[in-house]
Amino acid sequence: MTHLGQKIRELREKQNLLLRQVAAHLEVDTALMSKIERGDRRASRQQVIRIAEFLNASENELLTLWLADKIESTIVEEPKVAYHAMKIANKNLKR
């Protein structure tokens, strides 16, 4: 499960919402929403924003988790150089 998927499930369950209710708000089928929660499918940025709105959650928090998952899935393929690449990227972002 991804960081974002786990958070979405947590928020949805706290509000006693069914997966199909969130899926209906996004105008996607329940199977796709289930895959997003499990981390089998990545939500689009716009879907993340709509999920945050529907669940009354922090858009910034969900987008941060979405981006973290995206970064993690990219660098996991290059574990030997990932740390150094992240240091360079972090240095550039500070500018």
Rounded average pLDDT over 6-19: 98
| Structural domain includes residue 90 | no
**Residue 35 is part of a domain; what is its CATH number?**
1.10.260.40
How many structural domains is the chain composed of? Answer: 1
| Structural domain includes residue 74 | no
* pLDDT tens by residue, 43-77: 999 999 999 999 999 999 999 999 999 999 888 88
Rounded average pLDDT over 33-37: 97
| Structural domain includes residue 33 | yes
| Structural domain includes residue 37 | yes
| Structural domain includes residue 83 | no
Q: Using a pLDDT cut of 90, give the percent of the chain over it.
A: 74
| Structural domain includes residue 8 | yes
Residue 43 amino acid letter: A
What ranges in 1-95 are assigned the alpha helix state H? Answer: 3-14, 19-26, 30-38, 45-54, 59-75, 79-94
Residue 7 structural domain: 3-69
| Structural domain includes residue 78 | no
